[in-house]
C-alpha cells in the first residue's frame, strides 16, 4: 500500500483497526502505563498489530494514546516519553510493512487548558509537539488524535503537529446526547477542525455504532465534502459480575458500515471492546460495498 494517506483516501474507504487497550488487557502483560509495554514487551504489541493487519486493517494505530508527558508523568515515566513513542511507532511500522498505513495515536493531555485548568496553550503545544516528533521519527504516516472532548485542545494539538508535515486526523468522543463532555457538537467539530487544516474529522469511543451513525450524519450534513472517521465502541459497556461487558458483536458492528459510508465516512474501524474479529467483519462489509 502507498504511504500517502491523501492519495489512498481519494481512491477508496479504509478499514481501521480496533481496540488496543482491550487486547493488551487480554494479553496478560501488565503495566500502570500502557505505553511502557512498548518498551518491556514489544513483541506483545507487535503481535496485536499483526493480528489486525491479518484481519484486513488498512490502518493500524500506535500504542501511544496516553504517551504525552503529562499522562506518562502520572506513572513516573515522564523521562521515557520520547523513547516510548518512538518505540510505539517503530513496532507498528514493522508490523504494517507495505500492507497498512500507521496512525500515530495521541489523546487528551489529562489536564485542562486555561482558564479551566493551569495548563497554558504554549505548554500544551510543547507537550504535543514532543510526542508528535517522536512518533514521526518512529515512522508513522499520519497523526490520529483520539477520544477528544475539548475543541481547543484539538486545535492546540493540530498546531503542535504541523511542524512534522504529516496529515492530521481528529476524532472526538460524543455522549448519547450528541455532544462531547465539553459541549462540542458534531457540526462545530467538523467546521472548526476542517477550517484549521485537519485532513479528516470524526468520532470514536463513547457510544456504540447506532449512536455513532447519528453523529457522523450531523457532520456530513454540516460539511458534505469532509472525509470522516468512525470508530465506535462494541456497544455501551456494562459491568456484570465485576467484568466489563460489551453488547455489540462483530457482525452487528459491521451491519452499520453501509450507513457510515453513506454519511461520508472514509475510515471505518472500532474502539473499546473490539478485537481483530470486528476488523475482519468491517473489512468484509467495506470491501463488499
Which residues does 129 contact at the CB level (< 8 Å), separation at least 6? 160, 161, 163
CATH number at residue 224: 3.20.20.330
Q: Is the pTM of this model over 0.85?
A: yes
Beta carbons within 10 angstroms of residue 69's beta carbon: 19
Domain hosting 39: range is 5-288
Q: Angle 245-102-256 (CA atoms, 0-180°, nearest 5)?
A: 45
Q: Which of 187, 196, 256, 185 is nearest to 222 (CA)?
A: 187
CA pseudo-torsion sign 62, 288, 3, 146: negative
Domain count within the chain: 1
pLDDT values of the chain reduced to their tens digit, one per residue, 289 residues = 768 999 999 999 999 999 999 999 999 998 989 999 999 999 999 999 999 999 999 999 999 999 999 999 999 999 999 999 999 999 999 999 999 999 999 999 999 999 999 999 999 999 999 999 999 999 999 999 999 999 999 999 999 999 999 999 999 999 989 999 999 999 999 999 999 999 999 999 999 999 999 999 999 999 999 999 999 999 887 888 877 889 899 999 999 999 999 999 999 999 999 999 999 999 999 998 8
Amino acid at each position: 500500500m502507498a504511504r500517502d494517506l491523501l492519495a489512498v483516501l481519494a481512491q477508496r474507504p479504509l478499514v481501521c483497526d480496533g481496540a488496543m487497550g482491550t487486547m493488551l488487557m487480554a494479553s496478560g502483560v501488565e503495566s500502570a502505563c500502557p505505553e511502557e509495554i512498548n518498551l518491556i514487551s514489544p513483541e506483545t504489541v507487535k503481535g496485536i498489530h499483526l493480528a489486525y493487519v491479518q484481519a484486513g486493517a488498512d490502518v493500524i494505530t500506535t500504542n501511544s494514546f496516553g504517551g504525552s508527558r503529562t499522562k506518562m508523568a502520572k506513572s513516573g515515566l515522564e523521562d521515557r516519553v520520547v523513547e516510548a513513542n518512538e518505540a510505539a511507532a517503530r513496532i507498528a511500522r514493522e508490523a504494517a510493512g507495505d500492507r497498512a498505513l500507521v496512525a500515530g495515536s495521541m489523546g487528551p493531555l489529562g489536564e485542562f487548558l486555561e482558564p479551566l485548568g493551569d495548563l497554558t496553550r504554549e505548554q500544551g503545544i510543547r507537550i504535543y509537539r514532543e510526542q508528535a516528533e517522536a512518533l514521526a521519527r518512529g515512522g508513522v504516516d499520519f497523526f490520529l488524535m483520539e477520544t477528544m472532548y475539548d475543541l481547543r485542545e484539538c486545535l492546540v494539538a493540530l498546531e503542535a503537529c504541523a511542524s512534522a508535515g504529516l496529515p492530521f486526523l481528529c476524532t472526538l468522543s460524543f455522549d448519547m446526547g450528541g455532544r462531547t463532555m465539553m459541549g462540542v457538537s458534531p457540526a462545530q467539530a467538523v467546521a472548526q477542525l476542517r477550517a484549521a487544516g485537519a485532513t479528516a474529522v470524526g468520532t470514536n469511543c463513547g457510544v456504540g455504532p447506532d449512536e455513532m451513525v447519528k453523529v457522523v450524519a450531523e457532520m456530513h450534513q454540516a460539511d458534505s465534502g469532509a472525509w470522516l472517521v468512525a470508530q465506535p465502541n462494541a456497544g455501551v459497556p456494562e459491568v456484570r459480575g465485576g467484568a466489563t461487558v460489551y453488547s455489540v458483536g462483530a457482525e452487528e458492528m459491521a451491519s452499520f458500515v453501509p450507513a457510515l459510508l453513506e454519511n461520508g465516512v472514509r475510515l471505518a474501524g472500532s474502539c473499546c471492546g473490539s478485537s481483530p474479529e470486528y476488523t475482519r467483519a468491517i473489512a468484509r462489509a467495506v470491501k463488499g460495498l
